[in-house]
Amino acid sequence: MKKILVTGGAGFLGSHLCERLLNEGNEVICLDNYFTGSKRNIVHLMDNPYFELIRHDITAPFFIEVDEIFNLACPASPIHYQYNPIKTVKTSVMGAINMLGLAKRIRAKVLQSSTSEVYGDPNVHPQPESYWGNVNPIGIRSCYDEGKRCAETLFFDYHRQNNVRIKVARIFNTYGPHMHPHDGRVVSNFIVQALKGEDITIYGSGEQTRSFCYCDDLIDGLIRLMNTDDNIIGPINLGNPNEFTIKELAELVLDLTGSKSKIVYNPAAGDDPRQRQPIIDQAKEILHWQPTVQLKEGLQKTIQYFEEEIRRI
């Protein structure tokens, strides 16, 4: 039985990860400050004696003895990470320093949940891990993008300087149950709007693209990466390479929900990347991983979740 720390464990992805790790017979410590996460996401795990919940802010040092650390703590939706941008940078950078310092001291493996945002508004399409990106360092997304880039730098420097056992995953847009209904990300927004009969809000022309990965696939990729030998450090892209325009997504959500909502076009979000699609050759080759759930099936599961959530609220 491994002892595993999951920071951001009460969030969307963290809660799925905690559940998977417990089901695989591990002891799981979930650390969260509940900024965007919620106890509701993990309440079903509370009866498990091998699950422990700790309220803590990752910008402050934290000491524990564990074998592995999954570092997921960081708001991921533009609305939330732009709410207090200085705090977002602190969470990424000080959080990384605190987790890397801990990993160094206790010789734990540590995995960073990095992001496709390190590629910014990419001039290279689709994006391989070797692409250095096109990021605005002073824009409204920079607190997140540059925070995550600096965290990657810290991971690689702790590895080079202190032999810390690191893994860096670059996660592309991922969706599924446990997303916050008012999280502001496109999949949850569109589904909630469709189910409530509200207007579907496309920002900009709707011609911008994203490639959407279902949460179960993503969690599987993260765990496979953590379980690799110490010489595998990444960064490795994890995402579903099937690319859609935001307009196509809106139409699919309308179709699957049978909603009569209207599509409306709002001003484009600042610094919004025009396109995003992962090259996942490394994940295929090294992790023997590729997504198995395609958009229609994943959206159906997510719609079912939000139908129940809306009834409950």
Measured between alpha carbons, how far is 131 from 146 in angstroms, rounded to an integer?
15
Letter for the amino acid at 260?
K
Q: How near is the Cβ of 271 to ligand UDP at its closest, in Å?
A: 9
Between the alpha carbon of residue 215 and those of residues 2, 66, 170, 258, 301, the distances in Å are 23, 25, 14, 24, 11
Residue from 189, 275, 277, 302 binding ligand UDP (CB under 6 A): 189
Contact 273, 207 (CB under 8 A): no
CA atoms of 7 and 14, how far apart (whole Å): 7
Candidate residues 18, 28, 29, 36; the one interacting with ligand NAD per rule CB under 6 A? 36
Per CB under 6 A, the list member of 82, 98, 127, 173 interacting with ligand NAD is 173
CB of 277 to ligand UDP, least distance (A): 12
For the chain, counts of helices (H) and of strands (E): 9, 13
By residue count, the chain amounts to 313
Verify whether residue 50 is a known catalytic residue.
no
Q: Does position 210 bind ligand UDP by CB under 6 A?
A: yes
Which member of 82, 91, 188, 209 binds ligand NAD (CB under 6 A)? 91
User: Which of 185, 239, 278, 309 forms a contact with ligand UDP (CB under 6 A)?
Assistant: 185
Q: Is position 299 an interface residue for ligand NAD (rule: CB under 6 A)?
A: no
The Cα–Cα gap between 27 and 21 comes to 8
Is residue 57 a contact residue for ligand NAD (CB under 6 A)? yes
Q: How far is the CB of 78 from ligand UDP (least distance, A)?
A: 5
DSSP state of 245: E
When binding is defined by CB under 6 A, the residue of 4, 5, 6, 11 that contacts ligand NAD is 11
The rounded distance, in Å, linking the Cα atoms of 226 and 69 is 9
Interface region with ligand NAD, contact rule CB under 6 A, candidates 73-81, 130-138, 263-271, 295-303: 73-81
The pair of structure tokens assigned to 221 is 């990729």
Interaction of residue 254 with ligand UDP, rule CB under 6 A: no
Subset of residues 67 to 106 that bind ligand UDP, contact rule: CB under 6 A: 77-78
Report how far residue 217's alpha carbon sits from residue 283's, in angstroms, rounded to the nearest whole number: 12
CB-based contacts of 23: which residues, under 8 Å, 6+ apart?
Answer: none
Least Å distance between CB 103 and ligand NAD?
Answer: 16
Residue indicated by tokens 């958009």: 295
Which residues contact ligand UDP by CB under 6 A? 77-78, 173, 185-186, 189, 201-203, 208, 210, 246, 269, 272
Which residues contact ligand NAD by CB under 6 A? 7-8, 10-14, 32-37, 57-59, 72-76, 91, 113, 115, 171, 173-174
